[in-house]
Amino acid sequence: MSVKFYLYFLFINIFLLFLLCIETIKVRWQFSQEYENNAYLKVANSKLKEINFNLKTELYHLNSPAKVERHAKEGLKMITIEEVIYINYER
């Protein structure tokens, strides 16, 4: 085998090694991007859980019987019946 064959073989190996290095760098960059995205999604998830908790609390507060009763008394001017009056109609 000649020296040219060894040189070609060496250059092909160097080129393949270079391609592998570039691919390794690309994969590591993608991993770092995925870790950043995962961290961002965890923060967004915790914020959404907090907003959901606040909205559920507000819903329970707005639908509570005391709130409905107060709205009926103040807003609709309804009063409670204190004594029952029986009316007998005579014929």
Encoded tokens for 51: 């907003």
Position with higher pLDDT, 79 vs 28: 28
| pTM for the predicted model, two decimal places | 0.53
What is the predicted pLDDT for the residue at 48? 97
**16-to-26, 34, 55 alpha-carbon distances in Å:** 15, 27, 58
Residue 25 near residue 32, CB atoms below 8 Å:
no
Contact (CB, 8 A) for 66 and 72: no
What does the domain layout of the chain look like in residue ranges? 3-74
Give the amino acid at 8: Y
pLDDT over threshold 70, residue 91: no
Token look-up 């999604």 returns 41
Percent of the chain residues past pLDDT 90, beyond the cut: 59
